[in-house]
Structure 1
């Protein structure tokens, strides 16, 4: 398994703690490295300044006048003169004299170039004869009026030892900081993810018990609080959907019971007549078969309405298309005239295009017209108009009491005065849902002119008319 895969396999709080510790470690390491480099530079600068400040030219002249210098020679038994540095003279011919210090210095090409005046003063790193690292400053000097190089050196231990101590201190502090950051990151992760743990427990509880009444505390305005509120909204919506589903099943069972009971009774009467040999009078048999047919029709209509309402409210059926509402209303009028041949239908339909499902819109308009046919008196009139996206169907029946109007679009709700008439109480629910899916609304109200009857209004926003189809010449 790759390191990335292993990292992703860790729990979220462990990943957060590891990321925090890594970020702190990188930051501390960067600060420590920069600090070490800056201190090293300062110490080296101080060492170079002290080398430049060492004034041994007068003493070098005294030594030279006293004993001279021989090529490759030195005075190992000469006592130190407490210059806190190692000093020697290098002449142009390579001769050198030890002036002060505990060790002799190696004569380098840089020293000869300074002594021979081929270069200026130089600073460089070197070692003593016994291998001790030193910092060397070779400067021009005059020894008994001869060009020479006065070489001053100090051990680099004056710099390296404090730097080594500083490195160990920084390493210790960095380690403590990283460990502390990891512990703090783990604590922060646990504290910050506590609402997520509560959310996880709630989800697991719901999955285990199907209890949608669980709510998570959602105080605050941070992301966790927003997530908790979203979860609470989701569970509330699911609970409401579950409640509506249970209510729909209960209402559907209640509505199906009536036609099924009547149908079963009529079929049992027919079966008993066949079994006993006692014939039912022709007129009664005709009425009985007509009742069976009517109950079957009502049952089929109720099942169709239930199927329509069982579809999701969004994204159901065919994709929305631009359709001609006036053509849909005209087709629905043709069907309504067949169902109420004794009624007088008048229509005024202005062109209006909408975005929706043609079949669903036609069913909604048919449901509105069916209500008008059902409640219109024999020989009554039904007026249908379509203007500026508002389809109005006016009947001249008994009307609906004002206190019942808020309930007309509820599923399975039926007016007490209409319960003896055929129907399932789902037609207007389908109308309201279809209108909402098309971005519109449905309304039922008393006649605007104050006369008898009811007006049903279907409002749907318009859409650009589709371009006319071009029929090629034959």
Structure 2
């Protein structure tokens, strides 16, 4: 059995479907044929029983008795000699002890318990099958001989009348069933080919993508069945892969572009310092100091850019990862404000922070808040003010800088995007992308809008609670 199953599983899907359809139809046809045979047989037997019942010999026409040796003694069937129905059946007289004699016909019938029971009781009747002396099968009706205690009459007709019809029926059923099974096999193969044609197209598409890496291929979607859904899923998958590949290529191109500028400047400054050492021409102290400061700044910029790229390359673990903890958002904002004051000592930073606790990755949250505040410090004018508020999980950072043009707002969270006015300032263009990624992973929302009277308002909404969960370590 296991070997058959293994060979079946080894067949192509199309062949398996056709075989299953053929077997199912064959079983259905076989079951229908068997049921038809039994129904027809029962109908024929019932008709034969009705014919035997109509062929009963009236007891008044039978006289005599059965001898001990089974011979009929003075048994006479009287009546109208012109009535031929009496002589169409085999008729024999049976006594209570099992003795019998044939009074119509040439073959005697085996006496069964049904016959003796009717003879002994003198009442009722019995239909049953019996075998004649020549081996033929007969259908028998036995009924009591009224007025003759202990005697019964058995009227029989050969079952060949039924068997011949059933044999012909079997031939017809076998012929029809054979045609039905062959037709089912052909129909199953056609259905399998037709039904699997979309799967063949999908297979060809997958093989084409695997062979050529052409992610622009799309499969036509027809209808709304399972195959159509599978085609839509494949199209969505290839579209997502194509988008991911484009984003990856764009990230590499943007990163290369951003790295080229500080690396070129760094290389130039280092070459100047090296040439000074090689030629022995000393660089004036002030110029040398400026060169070293520029090298340090460029190295710092490179380190920040590399850190931002590493942050963006991390997988999206989302809330629920191993590093997620309950964090006091107001404390994290207060710490970030202290760092921002060091970077903008000439600025005034005001803070109104209401308690709020969130479940996030602490390092990612701290980096996001620092990026928002650094952005506000970077664009605030000297002596300006940065206003920070936290109320029920809504963090607002407002600066009084030049603001962002309306047509630039949709791009502020794109990777490496920088407004024309900010390209002369230090930065990689990844800070707000990191903010958006961190906030969305934490189930929150982030937005950057123009403020009334000039400046920009950064808004971050994080889900949480005003009180920490019980027995939860805070970070």
| TM-score, length of structure 2 as denominator length | 0.90
Residue 192 (1) aligns with residue 195 (2): yes
Map residues 262-301 of structure 1 onto 2, 5 A cutoff.
262-301=265-304
Q: Give the one of 364, 368, 384 matched to 2:368.
A: 364
Aligned to 1:462: 464
SS at match of 2:88: coil
Residue 42 (1) aligns with residue 43 (2): yes
Gap change, CA 1:183 and 1:375, over 3 Å in 2:
same
Give 1:85 deviation, angstroms. Answer: 0.9
Aligned to 1:136: 140
Aligned to 2:393: 389
Asked if 2 retains the 8 angstrom alpha-carbon contact of 1:70 and 1:97, the reply is no
Distance 2:386 2:406 in 1: 21
Aligned to 1:305: 308
Gap change, CA 1:89 and 1:357, over 3 Å in 2:
same
Aligned to 2:30: 29
Cα deviation 1:63-96 (Å, max 9, x = unaligned): x49xx86732269xx9996622101223456654
Asked if 2 retains the 8 angstrom alpha-carbon contact of 1:57 and 1:150, the reply is no
Q: Give the one of 340, 345, 355 matched to 1:336.
A: 340
Aligned to 1:237: 240
Give 1:239 deviation, angstroms. Answer: 0.8
SS at match of 1:420: coil
Give 1:349 deviation, angstroms. Answer: 0.7
Aligned to 1:348: 352
Aligned to 1:400: 404
RMSD over aligned CA atoms reads 2.6
Asked if 1 retains the 8 angstrom alpha-carbon contact of 2:110 and 2:131, the reply is yes
Cα deviation 1:387-417 (Å, max 9, x = unaligned): 1222111122222233322322221121222
Distance 2:191 2:107 in 1: 59
Give 1:146 deviation, angstroms. Answer: 5.9
| Higher mean displacement: 213-222 or 172-181 | 172-181
| TM-score, length of structure 1 as denominator length | 0.90
Cα deviation 1:191-232 (Å, max 9, x = unaligned): 111111111111110000000110000121111111111111
Asked if 2 retains the 8 angstrom alpha-carbon contact of 1:113 and 1:119, the reply is no
Gap change, CA 1:262 and 1:114, over 3 Å in 2:
same
Paired residue total: 463
Distance 1:95 1:241 in 2: 100
Distance 1:464 1:190 in 2: 63
SS at match of 1:150: strand
SS at match of 2:358: strand
Distance 1:446 1:146 in 2: 122
Distance 2:200 2:219 in 1: 11
Segments of structure 1 that go 5 or more residues without pairing to the other structure are: none
| Higher mean displacement: 276-285 or 456-465 | 456-465
Aligned to 1:11: 12
Gap change, CA 1:469 and 1:130, over 3 Å in 2:
closer
SS at match of 2:121: coil
